[in-house]
Amino acid sequence: MKLTILKDQLSESIQHVSKAISSRTTIPILSGIKIDATPKGVMLTASDTDISIQSFIPLENDGIENVQLVQTGSVVLPAKFFMEMVRKLPSEQIEIEAGENHQTIIRSGTAEFQLVGFDPEEYPLLPQVDEEKVISMSSDLLKAMIKQTSFAVSTSETTPILTGVLWSLTENNLKLIGCDRHRLASRESQIDTPPDQVIKSVVISGKTLSELNKILPDHNSLIDIVFTETLVLFKLSNVLFYTRVLEGVYPDTSKLIPQQFQTEMVIKSKSLMDAIDRAYLLTRENKANIVKLVMNDDQTIEISSSSSDLGKVKEVLPVSSHSGNLLQISFNSKFMLDALKVIDSEFVHIGFTGPMNPIVIQPEDGTRILQLILPYRTTS
């Protein structure tokens, strides 16, 4: 293998694939990035067996010559070092030459590195993906749907299936759900796909989806998503992101969501969020982060919390509409803040079915987001 490549393009590709490098891998070769130089361009690959990411640098695009290929071939280089080294190289042109025993020489300006490479033959093969079930959607929508659901997944490995986000598709309606034992976040959207395309129940790690979100492009573009029994593949323009599907049966969450409310209110999102954020300050010492909400009969609510060490806070806010019984309810303020943060609507609708039952938060702008949090059962 011998080629010259542009620093910025190489750097960006390394950054993309390095999201799949685990610092705790027990398989030495997986601490490396595989470089394949082909007549079409240079492909970088990294994997931790759960996620694999490939980034392709074409010989040329937009009239810019990214790669001057002298000889095709492959080598695997230590990821962490390779990444830092490329960033610090003095010239925009980087020459990479793999020789005997995978010894690799990297030249740039006055600098010359000789790196100990791994044998590319030993690098695990990526799975062949059967492209039977493919959906296409805009990267902006995908990003938003992931952001609005993945924060709510469980971080506990005792129920692995709940660390994932549930994906389903029927009648052009894509739905994502993340939940743990205390809260649930769901987001639905119509997408443009043949109406007989059905995805029953595919669960993808919430953490993996957050990593994917970091790679999704800043400008809106179309993403193909390929679903198989065991894998999902996200196809960006020059990046392939493979992730394993979580095994197990995702619980039926539909019964958790109240179909009608005893009490409803509409309130300005930002003023509610800021007041809860201040009340949250006093609750950080205890795990439950309990904040109390009391509805008054004058179209206001009171948000309050207290700490034996520090003191207490209360704040009265106007609601813009209210119906049903007046109630008092306590909840985890951290969960409420998380839910409010991903709703990008000036007003939110909050529905209650009594002080012991789930609280449902939805945007007033029509976006099909539903956030549910369980109240905290206090004695007072």
- Site of interaction with a copy of itself (CB under 8 A): 78, 81, 84-85, 88-90, 103-104, 110-116, 271, 274-275, 277-278, 281-282, 309-317
d(CA 210, CA 367): 21
For the bound state, the minimum distance from the C-beta of residue 374 to a copy of itself, rounded and expressed in Å, comes to 26
d(CA 286, CA 276): 16
Q: Looking at beta carbons only, is 40 or 312 nearer to a copy of itself? A: 312
For the bound state, the minimum distance from the C-beta of residue 285 to a copy of itself, rounded and expressed in Å, comes to 10
Q: Looking at beta carbons only, is 26 or 254 nearer to a copy of itself? A: 26
Contact predicate 348/339, CB 8 Å: no
Q: Look at strands 199-205 and 2-6 and give their pairing.
A: unpaired
Q: Looking at beta carbons only, is 90 or 248 nearer to a copy of itself? A: 90
Task: Name beta bridge partners: 183.
Answer: 373
Token pair belonging to 105: 């020489």
Report DSSP state, residue 31: G
- CB under 8 Å to 28, separation ≥6 — which residues? 118
d(CA 77, CA 34): 7
For the bound state, the minimum distance from the C-beta of residue 364 to a copy of itself, rounded and expressed in Å, comes to 21
Q: Looking at beta carbons only, is 75 or 372 nearer to a copy of itself? A: 75
Phi, psi dihedrals of residue 134, rounded to the nearest 5° = -125, 135
Q: Looking at beta carbons only, is 78 or 375 nearer to a copy of itself? A: 78
For the bound state, the minimum distance from the C-beta of residue 307 to a copy of itself, rounded and expressed in Å, comes to 9
For the bound state, the minimum distance from the C-beta of residue 279 to a copy of itself, rounded and expressed in Å, comes to 9
For the bound state, the minimum distance from the C-beta of residue 94 to a copy of itself, rounded and expressed in Å, comes to 13
d(CA 161, CA 374): 20
Q: Looking at beta carbons only, is 12 or 277 nearer to a copy of itself? A: 277
Token pair belonging to 102: 């995978």
